[in-house]
Amino acid sequence: MVRSRDKLRMLTLNTHSLMEEDNAFCLRTLANAIVRERVDVVALQEVNQSADAPAVETALLVSSNFVPCERETPIRTDNFALTLARLLAAQDQRFYWTWAYAHRGYRVYEEGVALFSRTPITGLASCCVSTPQGRCRRKIAGIRTQALASEGWFYSVHMGWWDDAEDPFVGQWERLNGLCAQNGRPAYLLGDFNSPAHVQGQGYDRVVSSGWQDCFLRARERDAGFTVGGQIDGWRKEKVDPMRIDFVFAGQPGPTHRSRVIFNDDFYPIISDHYGVLTEEG
């Protein structure tokens, strides 16, 4: 399937799902933004489901355009991505989607990462990038789809911290970068890297020095770019100023038309402890 326009619109958001005060409002706001902004590919992190919820019947998953990237954990009835797929379908927006389980969150959730595509998924990848000793297993999911003029890879990324003694960022990054090298280009990394862009010599610099281009920096139009407004889970031990830790990285040169922060109360309401990033390539 060839896209009908020359711009590629990508959205990434750490959803903090099922943990916000009004989850239904968050879902509606996210679905409406995807439709109104004509997003082609969506990458979501902290995509939760209740560990004690019943599994969804296979026929219902198939009807929602779900494409499994692994068989480790079943999709359950309150899975945030499944509900989003249904909300989009109710607006006559049929997306193909996948979800990969990462770890147990807050004792009661099965947390993972998800990807949505307007065009059919033609390839899938799922990779654990953590060490066995890691306290919080990190899972990466990837899809290949023709959202571009030719097929390309899109990865939903949720990385750990640079100075984690048991599961440091650098090891996670080498595994992720190796997966991307194996699958080839063009490719995009979208997600929460837990690596502030302003901190030198750590995760952000490691990604860029590996040949990935920050779409925010190469965008012809961009805003301040901050994706976290203050203290959030994982960043509560010290005072945290607004920072940029959610990114869209491109594995190849090319023009980025616009990078804009979304769900920050200026451009759509806040629906998570992170803001999202809406990127337009072309």
Whole-structure pTM value:
0.94
Domain count, the chain: 1
CB neighbour list of residue 213: distance below 8 Å, 6 or more residues apart: 249, 250, 251, 252, 253
Which residues are CB-neighbours of 272 under 8 A, at least 6 positions away?
13, 14, 15, 16, 17, 20, 26, 46, 263
Retrieve residue 129's tokens: 């990038």
- The Cβ-side half-sphere exposure at 7, using a 13 Å CA radius, reads 12
Q: pLDDT category, 240, cuts 50, 70, 90?
A: low
- CATH code of the domain in which 126 resides: 3.60.10.10
Domain presence at residue 209: yes
Indicate whether 235 pLDDT > 90. no
Query: What does each C-alpha distance from 168 to 74, 182, 191, 194, 228 come to in angstroms?
Result: 29, 22, 18, 12, 22
Burial of 22 (0-12, 13-18, 19+ CB in 10 A): exposed
Average pLDDT, the chain: 93
3 state SS of 10: strand
- Calculate mean pLDDT across residues 136-143: 96
Contacts of 146 (CB under 8 A, 6+ apart): 1, 2, 3, 119, 120, 122, 152
Domain assignment present for 232: yes
pLDDT at 5 over 80: no
Yes or no: say if 18 and 50 are a contact pair by the CB < 8 Å rule.
yes
Q: Judge whether 16 lies within some domain.
A: yes
CA atoms within 13 A on the CB side of 10: 31
pLDDT at 129 over 70: yes
Is a pLDDT exceeding 80 seen at residue 2? Answer: no
- How confident is the model at residue 21, as a pLDDT? 77
By mean pLDDT, which of 22-36, 38-52, 145-159, 188-202 is the weakest?
145-159
DSSP 268: S
pLDDT higher than threshold 70 for residue 232: no
Asked if pLDDT for residue 4 goes beyond 50, the answer is no
199: in domain = yes
- Is residue 38 one of the residues assigned to a domain? yes
Amino acid at 240: V
At residue 274, the 3 state secondary structure works out as coil
CA distance 234 to 8: 32
Does residue 46 contact residue 105 with C-beta atoms inside 8 Å? yes
Residue 197 falls inside a structural domain: yes
Question: Per-residue pLDDT averaged across 123-137, rounded?
Answer: 92
Task: Assess if residue 2 is contained within a domain.
Answer: no
Arithmetic mean of pLDDT, 35-48: 97
Average pLDDT in the 269-276 region?
Answer: 96
Q: What is the pLDDT of residues 141-182, one digit of tens each?
A: 999 999 877 799 999 999 999 999 999 999 999 999 999 999
Please report whether residue 3 resides in a domain: no
Q: Percentage of residues in the chain with pLDDT exceeding 70?
A: 94
Round to whole Å and give the CA distance between 38 and 246: 21
Question: Domain containing 225: what range?
Answer: 8-281
CB count within 10 Å of CB 54 equals 10
Find the mean pLDDT for residues 216-231: 91
Q: What is the pLDDT of residue 34?
A: 98
Tens digit of pLDDT for each residue in 42-97?
999 999 999 999 999 999 999 999 999 999 899 999 999 999 999 999 999 999 99
Chain centroid to CA 274: 12
pLDDT exceeds 50 at position 3? no
Instruction: Please name every residue paired with 41 in a beta bridge, in sequence order, or none if there are none.
Output: 10, 117
Q: What is the mean pLDDT of residues 244-252?
A: 97
Return the sign of the alpha-carbon dihedral for residues 252, 259, 148, 272: positive
